[in-house]
Amino acid sequence: MTMTVTTRGTAPSYLTQGRVDFPERFVWGAATASYQIEGAAKEDGRGRSIWDTFSDTPGKVFNGDNGEVACDHYHRYADDVRLMRDLGLRAYRFSVAWPRIQADGSGAPNGLGLDFYDRLVDELLDADITPYVTLYHWDLPQALEDGGGWTARDTAYRFADYAVAVHARLGDRVRSWTTLNEPWVSAFLGYGNGVHAPGRRDPGDALRAAHHLLLGHGLSAQALRSAGAEELMLVINSSLVATPAQVHDPAAAVSEADAAAVERVHSLLNRQFLDPALRGEYPAEVLATVERHAGLEHIQDGDLKTINQPIDLVGINYYNPCVVEAAPGEPADAAWPGSEDVRFATADAPKTAMGWPIVPTGLSRLLLRLSQDYPEVGLFITENGAAFDDVLTEGRVHDEDRISYLDGHLRAVHAAVEGGADVRGYLAWSLLDNFEWAEGYRRRFGLVYVDYPTQTRTPKDSALWYRDVIGRNGLAG
């Protein structure tokens, strides 16, 4: 039985059980990020990143954890690629650690750092797994942060130089290039509420960082395209924004004030990045917020034209909906400059170990809205997954909760495809349990369980289930 979705732009009212088949050539894989898995923090000329510094600062990361060893992937990459092959993955999204390529964020590239990714790409291609390279997944060289980080315009130019250096080495074998992972998180958790590295707390800095990240995206996209990159992608942490009632019922009646709160937060989260990148303009209300907190001097003539480079795909990292309601008098949240009079709420839904509500229909509705609003670009699920309190017993992890999360979200993706959304692939977050940023190692998102003291990898039941999904290009009944 396939899912019934009425027309493009309307959400499915429910997600059926039963078999669903994905389109031919749908891409299946998993994703990771450099600082979360590589370890080898001091090897082969790698410089320090803002996440090394942040993790070393007491009180910033749960349990004082850091990425010094992580999953030791830097040394175990060949085994990890074998594991991917055994699980039937067809694509693997990883990120390059900028401080491995340029210890201080500029100058001649470090050959040893490039060698690592060169070996990884060859190993993947030998295993018939397509590499998807992300250039920035948050590990900014500390030396650049010392010069202002993303609040400094120069960082955008440094980023484009670095992107070109990586492409020069891998571009003959890698066709898909992502500039940034989740610029909203880099800017607003890194410089707004300080929950992520570099831990600064200033709304003006966060908004300047957001602009310079976008500028770095545009400059690097332009440079990569002229160097011959085939496929360019920008990855955002996108959520359906809805009131508590709308989360489950898109037709729920909402007050004008609630509807305005939803659209404002949708602008801050999604349109702040997609409108400049795809249209060459900021939404008016975002610009008003920028002007209030940061002035407009940092947005120079021609920047929006530079940011607006033709790209092929928008990558969507979706975990849960963003739930808001109007709350007159509420001050702006530190991560959300411009969110005055809005209260962030939570959905009435089961939660993952992160406390994130599980709402698969939010993903189909998000994909349908984005494909309606930005029909010029293809969509790709670059991250989706869940942390649960996994237990390893007798060599198995029975993570039924993760299987059900993935199954529900894949049905949601399928529903959106049936509804007309151009979704090209799905990458589970994550291949391995790993360093979950401020949460340290206590949150396990992997399809594969990692016993950190021994570095033993054990595919969870969800990994075996996912292998079957990939094998049949769909979900069984």
Nearer to ligand FCB, 388 or 437 (CB): 437
Contact 295, 205 (CB under 8 A): no
Q: How far is CA 376 from the centre of its chain?
A: 21
Q: Smallest distance, Å, CB 379 to ligand FCB?
A: 17
Q: Alpha helix locations (H) across 378-422?
A: 400-418
139 forms part of the interface with ligand FCB (CB under 6 A): no
Q: How far is CA 317 from the centre of its chain?
A: 4
Nearest 5°: the CA angle 126, 128, 129 is: 110
- For ligand FCB, the binding residue among 3, 11, 20, 33 (CB under 6 A) is 33
Q: Torsion over CA of 321, 322, 327 and 331, rounded to 10 degrees?
A: 160
**Closest to 226 measured CA to CA, from 160, 137, 325, 299:** 160
**Closest to 204 measured CA to CA, from 274, 291, 268:** 291
Nearer to ligand FCB, 157 or 344 (CB): 344
Residue nearest to ligand FCB (CB): 33
436 forms part of the interface with ligand FCB (CB under 6 A): yes
Nearer to ligand FCB, 22 or 380 (CB): 380
- For ligand FCB, the binding residue among 139, 182, 275, 303 (CB under 6 A) is 182
Pair of tokens at residue 269: 């989260």
Active site residues per annotation: 182, 383
Nearer to ligand FCB, 237 or 289 (CB): 237
178 forms part of the interface with ligand FCB (CB under 6 A): no
Q: Smallest distance, Å, CB 385 to ligand FCB?
A: 7
383-412 binders of ligand FCB (CB under 6 A): 383
- Give the interface size with ligand FCB as a residue count (CB under 6 A): 12
Task: Please give the Cα distance from 359 to 356 (Å, whole number).
Answer: 9
- For ligand FCB, the binding residue among 110, 306, 317, 371 (CB under 6 A) is 317
SS3 319: coil
- For ligand FCB, the binding residue among 92, 117, 159, 429 (CB under 6 A) is 429
Nearer to ligand FCB, 102 or 317 (CB): 317
Task: Please give the Cα distance from 32 to 44 (Å, whole number).
Answer: 21
HEC assignment per residue over 116-162: HHHHHHHHHHHCCCEEEEEEECCCCEHHHHHCCHHHCCHHHHHHHHH
Window contacting ligand FCB (CB under 6 A); options: 180-188, 286-294, 328-336, 456-464: 180-188
Residues in contact with ligand FCB by CB under 6 A are: 33, 36, 181-182, 185, 237, 317, 383, 429, 436-437, 445
